[in-house]
Structure 1
């Protein structure tokens, strides 16, 4: 497993432990959490499986997991230094440029996915996952995209210091628009 300096195992409520995650080895468990948290069907999970495995080969990609004492995965986050050549960047770039925020694509750590099983949401698990992974980033800022609605996830991101950089961002095949958000690092801690 990977080790991130200064980021040992942190205990959360309900004995959830936040620590390094070999996401390639546990991709099916992680996607099972994402499927429940995000409402994905089997076909979409199969597509995302290939995306996650490809992402984990990118330079600087890393993941953290939230596990129970029995080793069950109840949440995960992964991200990487942003690269303008990556698909996500090519989609969001025109939206960011239109709002004068194109520079956020450089020197940023992108949060690619963050999901917590619904039984463990609203207990600080997602906050710990995202703050721990960004605390280990060399980049001075972080960017992410989230469904553009008034959701608990967007509330969490705002509380951490993320601001809207572009809204109503349309991804091919996504049924709902997204918001691209950015925050200086380190994120706000409680």
Structure 2
């Protein structure tokens, strides 16, 4: 999923008209290289699995392109709510066909899980989505993606180092520093500019 900043950068150029900037291209390269060093790059096997893995971030980013290009005046609260409502309308029939009510745990166990599900869904997921759409409305998509997406693995590594006492290698330290530099380029840099539009007068 760490390839998502690449898709965001390319998609923002193709669909939103944001110009490529060399510093951003180099920053994305630094982020990806740093994460590969920290996590340890491993060869991927299975063509279908790799294809699905690479397609997932495209699906995520395409929803952001649609939201930014066609729904510019929509309030982030409405956009977040609509995403979950329409998602439920699509996924609920699929669940009923393939799994159904019989796949649910016993009533007592389900009742105990409902508060956790409510907190995870209504609080964490909804407000996380709300914060995301509010962010990309104020910042450009590539910048927001490059700041948010690498933060997950990097923060998990910090927790594992300091709280779990896992050993840190020099390669991981270098990779962490490289990714952090890439993120800082986006966080501290200027927003994206529109690509120049050429007309007949420019020829």
- TM (normalized to structure 1)? 0.30
- TM (normalized to structure 2)? 0.28
Per residue, is there more strand in 1 or in 2? 1
Higher gyration radius (CA): 2
* More relative contact order, 1 or 2 (CA 8 Å, 6+ apart): 2
Per residue, is there more helix in 1 or in 2? 2
